[in-house]
Amino acid sequence: MSCYQLLPFRFDRFNNNEYLLTNDAGEFIFLENKDFLRFVKGDMRADKNIFYNLKSRQFATDQSIEPIITMLATKVRTKKSNLNDFTTLHMVVPTLRCNSNCIYCQVSKKNLTDKNVDMTQATANNVIKTIFNSPAKSIKVEFQGGEPLTNYKMVQYIIEESEWFSYKKKKNVEFVLCTNLSLITPKILKYLKKHKCYISTSLDGTKDIHNKNRPLQTLYDSHKVFEDTLVLSKNILGNEYVSALMTTTCYSLGHFTDIINEYLRLGFRSIFLRSLNPYGFAKRDKHLIAYPISEFIDNYKKALSFIIDLNKNGTFFVEGYAELIINRILTPFATGFVDLQSPAGVGISGVIYDYNGNVYVSDEGRMLAAVNDYRFEMGNVNQNTYDEIFNSEFMHSLISSACTECLPACAECVYQPFCGADPVRNYSEQGDIVGHRPTSDICKKNKEIIKHILSIVRENDKDVMNVFWSWINRKPVELNRESL
């Protein structure tokens, strides 16, 4: 027997034959049942290959512990490096007016004639001033709505003022316009190109599904409008400047392959298979458009397999949610996705400024305010300073309650290093910012999908791993092989 010391780790049965071990640095290892029992009892010989694997990943040591702790601390700091920049994503709502009639709309959209829900120039000035007080060196300003193009002049004003502030403050600034594309014109696109503004739009799938989910207020065939303006947008901006998101309703289930093929037909090279969020109309009309989360998970697994096969056969196409998890599993680096962070990204990674200057920790927090629940309001740019908004007792309390390392059930969960906390989602679903994991849909979804991706990694199929690394490196499989 050899003398060694166990280091902190989490563990759980992965299947009938193996345990999965993880630690705070995101290192992981699979051990057969007999090897796991020997390891925790301290009777694994230090000259065994298995022990060396455990030692190299900081699950145990037979040497001085101080340098090991230093190494672990460095790895954890790298995984949490997104916290160094504080708030980089600043979402701005120029107006609540909208010309869409989405069945799952998460905000209280207003009529096109109601200019009382437009942001004023005075409020915009205070929003910009607040944004550029952030310590982050790189700022992303993302226009949300409503439909931002119903107040296009304000979009222009914020872009141009932000560029001036970025020059004055010596910061980098990037713009994203979230739009349904229906109001886009060549003139607008040329302006966006001049100011290097990306477009994020919504495509829910084939004509029937998209029209069912996202009709325009005056036109049912929104898919035809979308396709025409998408072609125009890509022709002027370039493919890399236009991306799309999809939302899954009950009408989408069973059709993920068709949806993926529609993305491919329209020239997209990625998709983010996103489940329904429990806010706004989606919560009100849950009985009409929602589904058991287990059905989404089953559909997701089949879709991921289909996408992997596409890549193996030469078509580069990325599933965004899987890519985030794969990055967390296979690389030592942080990912910037707000929903999969610990502490939660609300307020400290991303924040949203409503048309009236109210500041919320997330878009979901704004959605709750739309139904008169202001729990996640941080302040107002017309009334509060940057410090009062971002360094308040409320923010300290919220973030301290949103670290998976110390939340009930999360703290000992073996998948914790790859997951995140979402206090707003917990509150909306369960009436409590901490939440109750055994009955949480978001917990079930994250855990099942993370476990599924780990099981694929566990198989270590060379062709599949080439696909995963091609997603991380953002290169098609063949080009990725050449660069390795």
pLDDT tens per residue, range 14-64: 999 999 999 999 999 999 999 999 999 988 876 688 999 999 999 999 989
* pLDDT at residue 313 in the model: 96
* pLDDT at residue 482 in the model: 55
* pLDDT at residue 261 in the model: 98
| pLDDT for residue 357 is more than 70 | yes
In the predicted model, what is the mean pLDDT of residues 410-433?
93
Kindly report, as residue ranges, where domains of CATH 3.20.20.70 are found in the chain.
Answer: 82-389
Q: Percent of the chain having pLDDT more than 90?
A: 81
* pLDDT at residue 481 in the model: 58
* pLDDT at residue 89 in the model: 96
Domain at 82-389, CATH from 3.20.20.70, 3.30.365.10, 3.30.9.10, 3.30.1330.50: 3.20.20.70
Q: Answer for the pair 156, 177: CB distance below 8 angstroms, yes or no.
A: no
In the predicted model, what is the mean pLDDT of residues 69-97?
93
> Using H for helix, E for strand and C for coil, what is the string for the chain?
CCCCEECCCEEEECCCCEEEEECCCCCEEEEEHHHHHHHHHCCCCCCCHHHHHHHHCCCEECCCHHHHHHHHHHHHHHHCHHHHHCCCEEEECCECECCECCCCCCCCCECCCCHHHECCHHHHHHHHHHHCCCCCCEEEEEECCCCHHHHHHHHHHHHHHHHHHHHHHCCEEEEEEECCCCCCCHHHHHHHHHCCEEEEEECCCCHHHHHHHCCECCCCCHHHHHHHHHHHHHHHHCHHHEEEEEECCCCCCCCHHHHHHHHHHCCCCEECEECCCCCHHHHHCHHHHCCCHHHHHHHHHHHHHHHHHHHHCCCCCEEHHHHHHHHHHHCCCCCCCHHHCCCCCECCCEEEECCCCEEECCHHHHHHHCCCCCCCEEEECCCCCHHHHHCCHHHHHHHHCCCHHHCCCCCCCCCHHHCCCCHHHHHHHHCCCCCCHHHCHHHHHHHHHHHHHHHHHHHCCHHHHHHHHHHHHCCCHHHHHHHC
In the predicted model, what is the mean pLDDT of residues 420-433?
92
| pLDDT for residue 82 is more than 80 | yes
The angle, 0 to 180 degrees and rounded to 10, between the axes of the packed helices 293-312 and 462-473 is: 100
Mean pLDDT of all residues belonging to the chain = 93
* pLDDT at residue 336 in the model: 75
* pLDDT at residue 83 in the model: 87
Q: Percent of the chain having pLDDT more than 70?
A: 95
* pLDDT at residue 48 in the model: 81
pLDDT tens digits along 208-223: 999 999 999 887 789 9
Give the model's confidence band at 285: pLDDT under 50 very low, under 70 low, under 90 confident, else very high.
low
pLDDT tens digits along 387-420: 999 999 999 999 999 999 999 999 999 999 999 9
* pLDDT at residue 370 in the model: 86
Q: Answer for the pair 312, 305: CB distance below 8 angstroms, yes or no.
A: no
| pLDDT for residue 1 is more than 60 | no
* pLDDT at residue 32 in the model: 95
- Pairwise CA distance, residues 248 & 167, whole Å: 41
* pLDDT at residue 101 in the model: 87
| pLDDT for residue 9 is more than 90 | yes
In the predicted model, what is the mean pLDDT of residues 151-167?
98
Q: Which amino acid is at 18?
A: E
Neighbours of 341 (CB within 10 A): 25
Nearest CA to 325 out of 427, 459, 457 is that of: 457
